[in-house]
Amino acid sequence: MFVSSTFLDNQVRRKLVMDAILRAGMMPVGMERFTASTRPAVEECVAQVRGCDWLVGILAYRYGWIPPGQPEGQERSITEMEYDAAKAEGMPRLMFVLDGSVDVNPQRDFDEGAERWKKQELLERFKRKIGADLLPAWFREDDLGVQVFQALAEERMRQAERRLQEQAARTSSPGDASAATTGVGEQASAMGSSDEGEPADIVDELARVFHESGLAEVLVTRAGVPQGRRPAFTRPLVFWTRVVDEARSGLLAGGIGPIVAEAAKMFPSNPVFRRYREEGEQGAGRRGAR
């Protein structure tokens, strides 16, 4: 997970981002961890980006160092080059832009020297490029770590869902859509279970994401589930495989409670929870009509 940003104004923010990446069970890579290299700085940075799977970018008010020797009118900072390298590799890019309402420190937050205003123009051009490619998140100092963690968890869920759909498409016969909605409970039954009830071999990708990212604990904490009623996080896969399976099949309309409801709020576009939410709304309408 490559962490890209200017350095002087983002040292504290970079640490927050790296901590969030570590909490999500991933490994951050950034300039703080570069070792000595005989390659030029630009080549080294681009190589580091290409060696990663994702890029997380932070943008504030600095554009940063512009390597010399670039054609006039096409100058890019090293930070923009890192973004372009990730885009060229087709990797996911999660971009976080400082909210304009945050107080500015003129001695720290802007590029120095005679090129300050030119760099501001280039920064705005870079932000427009990002906005044309994807939807960045706007952050304040007190919510950057939380936003990064949630974005990582949501992106992992999207990727896991795509992998499941691709796997179902490869293994199902033409016209057979049942494989795409097969839940973990059926997989576990087919493969057998351990004495504790956990799947012995195959575990649903989405449930694994819940477990490995720490999203399970985040969800129940935010949902306000009393401590004594929370699932045991030392063995969360049984709980979360059941959540994923039941959410897929719409069996939670009556409500497993606030846990999945909170997940549906956090990830409204995720197909895993969409049917649960729709079924829940329909169920509420039926109950209200009685």
Residue 213 neighbours by CB under 8 Å, 6+ apart:
24, 25, 149, 152, 153, 156
Q: Is residue 271 part of a domain?
A: yes
Arithmetic mean of pLDDT over the chain:
72
170 and 78 assigned to the same domain: no
pLDDT given for residue 114 in this prediction: 85
What distance in Å separates the CA atoms of residue 97 and residue 190, rounded to the nearest whole number? 47
The first and second tokens of residue 207, run together, are 């449930």
Phi, psi of 115 (to 5 degrees): -90, 10
118 and 189 assigned to the same domain: no
285 and 166 assigned to the same domain: yes
132 and 30 assigned to the same domain: yes
Count of domains forming the chain: 2
Q: Is residue 224 part of a domain?
A: yes
8 and 131 assigned to the same domain: yes
* Residue with more model confidence, 244 or 180: 244
pLDDT confidence bin for 252, thresholds 50/70/90:
very low
pLDDT given for residue 83 in this prediction: 98
Answer with the one of 113, 142, 171 that is the final residue of a domain: 142
136 and 87 assigned to the same domain: yes
Does residue 280 register a pLDDT over 90?
no
What CATH number is attached to the domain comprising 83?
3.40.50
Q: Is residue 148 part of a domain?
A: no
Residue 12 neighbours by CB under 8 Å, 6+ apart:
none
200 and 127 assigned to the same domain: no
Q: Is residue 147 part of a domain?
A: no
Phi, psi of 124 (to 5 degrees): -65, -40
Q: Which residue has the tokens 């935010």?
A: 222
Q: Is residue 75 part of a domain?
A: yes
pLDDT given for residue 138 in this prediction: 94
What distance in Å separates the CA atoms of residue 8 and residue 62, rounded to the nearest whole number? 9
Residue 157 CA neighbour count, 13 Å, CB half: 25
128 and 212 assigned to the same domain: no
pLDDT given for residue 198 in this prediction: 35
Determine the length of the chain: 290
220 and 246 assigned to the same domain: yes
For the ranges 34-43, 220-229, 264-273, the one whose mean pLDDT is highest: 34-43
CB 20 within 8 A of CB 152: yes
What distance in Å separates the CA atoms of residue 27 and residue 47, rounded to the nearest whole number? 17
158 and 267 assigned to the same domain: yes
Does residue 203 register a pLDDT over 50?
no
* Domain span holding position 105: 2-142
Helices (H) then strands (E): counts for the chain: 12, 4
* Nearest CA-CA partner of 261 in 250, 249, 252, 270: 252
Answer with the one of 81, 110, 142 that is the final residue of a domain: 142
Q: Is residue 29 part of a domain?
A: yes
Does residue 269 register a pLDDT over 80?
no
The first and second tokens of residue 281, run together, are 């709304």
The first and second tokens of residue 188, run together, are 């576990």
16 and 138 assigned to the same domain: yes
130 and 25 assigned to the same domain: yes
pLDDT given for residue 185 in this prediction: 36
Mean pLDDT of 18-32: 87
Does residue 135 register a pLDDT over 90?
yes
